[in-house]
Structure 1
Amino acid sequence: MMTNLFSVFDPTTSFYNLSLNWMSTFIGLLLLPWTFWLIPSRHFVQWYSIMLHLHKEFKLLINYTNILNKGSTFIFISTFSMIMFNNFMGLFPYIFTSTSHLIMTLTMALPLWLSFMIFGWINNSFHMFAHLVPQGTPSLLMPFMVCIETISNIIRPGTLAIRLSANMIAGHLLLTLLGNSSNNSSTSMLIMLIITQIMLLILESAVAIIQSYVFTVLSMLYSSEVN
């Protein structure tokens, strides 16, 4: 019985005091070794074409001519794949949505942002200081702009993490509310609820792709500022 509206996001499923909900995050790792020794299937070929298209698109967002950026697109492609897989896994019944928790999203956003900042301040300190004062800022407003830009830079990992988790929670809560309201509904109302649930499920599938893409693109734009 669900005692709380947010209990569907609470990792309480356990076996001998071992939480099993987070195991859904690692299911994708079981599928990876197959691609190394099986004949490529249509699913693998389609996924490979998607990754190739993302690689070509991500190269436009970063300075790929720089020797330091060679191969950096694969980091963001892996991030995109992991987030999208976990978003889709949460759409299946009785599977825990790991990306709806800040402990998961902040764990991905904070190390990325922190590594960009450390690399930028060590190697391009003058360039990082120049980002604190936008071009054309009056001299009187420069101290305030430095404070504003510093705060906006610090909260970037938080906004990345909260954006992803909030979008995952919102859609799942709506699906849960509509599903719980169908217990004592009439036949016509039940048909309307099923149609609405299917439309919301299609919308959530699109949100799963869009949010993983937004998270990856914003991380890449943050990395491009340090070069």
Structure 2
Amino acid sequence: MMTNLFSVFDPSSNIFNFSLNWMSTILGLLIIPSTYWLIPSRWNIMWNFILINLHKEFKMLLGNSNYLGSTFIFISLFSLILFNNFMGLFPYIFTSTSHLTLTLSMAMPLWLCFMLYGWINNTQHMFSHLVPHGTPNILMPFMVCIETISNIIRPSTLAVRLTANMIAGHLLLTLMSNMGPQLSFIFITLLLISQILLLILESAVALIQSYVFTVLSTLYSSEIT
């Protein structure tokens, strides 16, 4: 009996008090060996096409940076989030990205590294970001407070956005599936069709949210140089 609606997201499989649910985070590694085949498959060609386009876009967002290969960390981040989001759509697979434990663990170190690097190496540039260009003198203290607060809450907004979007769709699917035993055959058919459509929507959300998380991280890093 489910005592809480959100308990469907709780880790429950464990051995010696070690949660096995978080092992779903590395399930995406099972797909990687296929990329080492001598003759690439259609899946490999499509995935390489996606990564090349992401590399070009992230390079454009980062600007004329002298740090070669800086886009690879964001491509890896995109791949990790995308794999975990899609794995969570399969039955009986734990959705790790629906927990702040994982999303904050990705957002907080990135933001902290960006802030430390920016304030240590580009202090004047970071101070100039606190006051937007063209701000009246009387509003400058308020703008500094607003920009400081917006910078501080960036990791939490990144983490909560991803977690909330993953939880919302799964909760809706859970609520709709709990209605099944009380419905007639016709309504069950409509329920299945609506769940299939919702699952397609969740697949799009899984891709979009991984892209949004990575693009925002890239934009935050481009502000410190």
Q: Same fold (TM over 0.5)?
A: yes
Question: Deviations along 1:39-78, whole A, 9 cap, x unmatched?
Answer: 4222112111110111112121111x3212x211111111
Shift in Å, 1:36: 3.3
Instruction: Name the counterpart of 2:45.
Output: 45
* Matched residue SS, 2:221: helix
Match of residue 183 from structure 2: 185
Could you tell me how far apart the structure 2 residues matched to 1:11 and 1:94 are? 11
Structure 2 CA distance for aligned equivalents of residues 39 and 107 of structure 1 = 37
Give the Cα–Cα distance (whole angstroms) in 2 for the partners of residues 33 and 204 of structure 1.
27
Q: Distance in 1 between matches of 2:37 and 2:191?
A: 45
1:108 paired residue number: 106
Displacement of 1:13 in angstroms is 1.4
TM-score by length of 2: 0.96
Paired residues in the alignment total 225
Structure 2 residue aligned with 1:203: 201
Matches within 5 A, 1:130-209: 130-209=128-207
Match for residue 36 of structure 1?
Answer: 36
Counterpart position of 1:66? 65
How far off is 1:161 after superposition?
0.2
Q: Which one-letter code corresponds to 1:18 in the other structure? A: F
- How far, CA to CA, are the matches of 1:200 and 1:86 in structure 2? 18
Q: Which residue of 2 aligns with 1:10?
A: 10
Matches of 1:177 and 1:38 in 2, distance apart? 46
> For 2:29 and 2:216, how far apart are their aligned partners in 1?
25
- Name the Cα RMSD after superposition: 1.2
The corresponding residue for 2:215 is 217
Q: Deviations over 1:147-198 (max 9, x none)?
A: 1110000000000000000000000000000001101210011011001100
Give me the whole-angstrom Cα distance separating, in 2, the residues matched to 1:31 and 1:86. Answer: 12
Q: How many Å separate the matches in 2 of 1:55 and 1:210?
A: 17
Match of 2:19 in 1: 19
Distance 1:18 1:39 in 2: 40
Measure, in 2, the Cα distance between the counterparts of 1:153 and 1:38: 46
Aligned residue number for residue 81 of structure 2: 83
Q: Greater CA deviation, 23-32 or 172-181? A: 23-32
Q: Distance in 2 between matches of 1:4 and 1:66?
A: 49
Residues in 2 aligned to 1:17 and 1:103: alpha-carbon distance in whole angstroms = 17
> Which position in structure 2 is the counterpart of 1:95?
93
Offset, 1:38: 5.2
Gaps of 5+ in 1: none
